[in-house]
Amino acid sequence: MNRYRVMLVDDEEDVAQAIMKKLNWEEMGFENPRYAHNGLEALELSEDLRPDIVMTDIKMPYMDGMELSRNLKQLYPNIRIIIFSGFDDFEYAKEAIRLEAEEYILKPIDSDELKAVFTRVHEALDRDIDEKLNVAKLENYYMDSLPLLQEDFFASLVEGRIADDKIEKFMSDYRIDLAGPLFAVAIVHISSSGIPEGMNPVLLSVSVRKLLEERMDEKWGCRFFSYLGSTVMVAQFSDRKDAASFTDTCDRLCRLAISICKAKVTIGVGPLVDSLSDIDTSYRGARDAVSYRVLYGNTKAINISEITPMEESGDEGSDGEGLFDVFKKIKMADEQTASEAAEKYIDMNTVNQSSIQSHRFFVMELVSELYKFARNNQLDVNEIFDMNTDVYAVVQQMEKAELKEWFGRVAGKMHGLIEDRRSGNTRSFVLKAKEYVADHYADQDLSIDFICSYLGVSSAYFSTVFKKETGKTFVGYLTDYRMEKAEKMLLETDEKTYIIAREVGYSDPNYFSYVFKKQFGVSPSKYKSGRE
């Protein structure tokens, strides 16, 4: 039996506790419900819990049940809402219908009625999942997916195999509309771990693709195709600033995929390009972005332009997978792994050299590729090579053991320089966010969306990096900062509580008192009197 997560929201804790005791939740296929005292607390809790079902009262302080339902539906489109209230008001019922609530129940709630409601919702969720994972339906959908000619066109496009003057004709012949004027490629990667038992990975990929096609916002004008075992999207943009919003859309779909399809999905987003003839560049960037899941985790969207804004994405080197693998480890793995990959590369490529001439050509090409890699990644060659000597001449005189040691050392240096710059970029915008909070914490409209717009990054990337750097979510950091300021004002001034609430960014003094008590254990007035 599928097991679903439930959250109960009611400002009357005794009512919520009574509801929790009315049912044998585990026997019915639910985890024990989590409880929130109001809409704002529920919204914050949902970020970690990601509930499948929310049962909420209507009349609550700070944020009522209707507003909470609207917010949850926007964040988690597949969530099921059950509204219960002591108010038999037709307007409430109409609003509940508009919000696509599963049920509208009047208090007091009867145990049998409650059980029947949750049984129906459980069955509805089961049907939703079964529809996505039904093998026969997926096979039919797979056969009826995008026409072969379109698939072939997009595959050729990302490979860079279509001449510029032929693109428009192919698009016209295959009835493909891509107006742009800006484009980006996004690659959908499905983790091989956690695949539902008995599920064919290919069919699971089809399930995820269908979900994306159904739920992706139409404003991005996405075209979907399969390439090298992954689903690939080509999105269209009217402004470069839209890239962050698109990344956030992809991030929400990653969360939806794990909920509906039971698939761990990472979406890598490539850089924007202004011509379809350059779409192969965006594809390579998206492929690099997917690789960064080893650093930032899966089930999220990763935009290469946010993670490596100063790096040129794409294939490094021209000698095939061998040297590319070394460069990839320099950028993605630890220093030791990068050095070992470099030494292994020397072993593999010097074993069959038949003459000193072939060895010299090999060394010259290696040094040239290292210079190119350094330039593409804006690395200072003076920190990598001894520029007081002729690097080509020196390396050509090295024996195999010396060459291995030299390349391993160079790979380690390059890794360190890239890591230092990447950490510097991360620390830079986290520091900017902290500085902005310090200057604007009194602004009641300050939110994660606002700060991401200010910094020009997606909330998906910002949230991941901010928590990694600070150990807190941005909302948690902002709340702690405001509470510190409020505590100081309580102790050092004679201002009224409602004035202090406004000064630290809270329009509702009652909610300010609620947050303060949650932080310090007592109300603001008692805290002040206790310290005095």
* Closest-CA residue to 230 (of 179, 266, 282): 266
pLDDT at residue 376 is higher than 90? no
Q: In terms of domains, do 46 and 188 share one? A: no
Last residue of a domain, one of 362, 392, 422: 422
8 SS3 class: strand
| Sheet containing 34-36, strands listed edge to edge, beginning at the edge strand earlier in sequence | 34-36, 6-9, 53-57, 80-85, 103-106
Q: Give me the long-range contacts of 122-131 (CB less than 8 A, separation at least 24).
A: 122/2, 122/4, 122/28, 122/29, 122/30, 124/80, 125/2, 125/4, 125/52, 125/53, 125/80, 126/2, 128/78, 128/260, 129/2, 129/260, 129/262
Decide if 313 contacts 271 (C-beta within 8 A). yes
| Sheet containing 182-190, strands listed edge to edge, beginning at the edge strand earlier in sequence | 223-227, 230-237, 182-190, 265-269, 301-303
Neighbours of 135 (CB within 10 A): 11
386-422 pLDDT tens trace: 777 888 888 888 888 888 899 999 999 888 888 777 6
Rounded Cα–Cα distance for residues 256 and 244 (Å): 19
Is position 436 within any domain? no
Q: In terms of domains, do 175 and 250 share one? A: yes
77-121 pLDDT tens trace: 889 999 888 766 656 666 766 767 778 888 788 889 999 999 999
Q: In terms of domains, do 126 and 174 share one? A: no
Is position 429 within any domain? no
493 SS3 class: coil
| Beta carbons within 8 Å of 162's beta carbon, 6+ residues apart | 153, 156, 170, 277
Question: For position 313, what pLDDT does the model report?
Answer: 44
Which two structure tokens, joined as six digits, stand for 458?
């997606």
Query: In this structure, what CATH number is given to the domain that contains residue 91?
Result: 3.40.50.2300
Cα 38 versus chain centre, distance: 27
Question: For position 316, what pLDDT does the model report?
Answer: 46
Cα-based distances in Å from 238 to 90, 120, 286, 305, 507: 43, 44, 19, 17, 36
How confident is residue 311, by pLDDT bands cut at 50, 70 and 90?
A: very low
Vertex 161 angle, CA 156 and 165, to 5°: 105
Is position 410 within any domain? yes
| pTM, two decimal places | 0.53
Q: In terms of domains, do 285 and 154 share one? A: yes
Question: What is the average pLDDT score of the chain?
Answer: 86
Question: For position 320, what pLDDT does the model report?
Answer: 44
| Number of domains into which the chain is organized | 4
Last residue of a domain, one of 98, 133, 168: 133
Question: For position 136, what pLDDT does the model report?
Answer: 65
Last residue of a domain, one of 307, 330, 361: 307
pLDDT at residue 476 is higher than 90? yes
Rounded Cα–Cα distance for residues 62 and 506 (Å): 11
Is position 313 within any domain? no
| Beta carbons within 8 Å of 90's beta carbon, 6+ residues apart | none
Torsion of CA 197, 202, 203, 204, to 10 degrees: 60
Vertex 259 angle, CA 258 and 265, to 5°: 15
Q: In terms of domains, do 287 and 368 share one? A: no
Q: In terms of domains, do 410 and 454 share one? A: no
Structural domain harbouring 393: 321-422
Is position 205 within any domain? yes
Phi, psi for residue 106 in degrees, rounded to 5: -95, 140
What one-letter code names the amino acid at 268? G
Q: In terms of domains, do 154 and 101 share one? A: no
- How many H-runs (helices) and E-runs (strands) does the chain carry? 25, 10
* Closest-CA residue to 247 (of 287, 189, 302): 302
- Residue 309: is the preceding peptide bond cis (ω within 30°)? no
Percent of the chain with pLDDT over 70: 91
Q: In terms of domains, do 350 and 201 share one? A: no
340-356 pLDDT tens trace: 989 988 888 877 766 77
pLDDT at residue 515 is higher than 80? yes
* Closest-CA residue to 524 (of 320, 58, 495, 347): 495
Is position 431 within any domain? no
Is position 312 within any domain? no
Query: In this structure, what CATH number is given to the domain that contains residue 479?
Result: 1.10.10.60
Alpha helices in 377-399 (DSSP H): 391-396
Decide if 207 contacts 138 (C-beta within 8 A). yes
Rounded Cα–Cα distance for residues 107 and 12 (Å): 13
Q: In terms of domains, do 154 and 297 share one? A: yes
Q: In terms of domains, do 190 and 256 share one? A: yes
Decide if 310 contacts 376 (C-beta within 8 A). no
Q: Report, as an integer, the average pLDDT of 455-463.
A: 86
Q: In terms of domains, do 54 and 90 share one? A: yes
Is position 435 within any domain? no
pLDDT at residue 191 is higher than 70? yes
Q: In terms of domains, do 300 and 347 share one? A: no
Longest dimension (CA), the chain: 92
DSSP 383: G
Q: Which of 134-148, 215-229, 256-270, 424-438 has the lowest mean pLDDT?
A: 134-148
Question: For position 319, what pLDDT does the model report?
Answer: 45
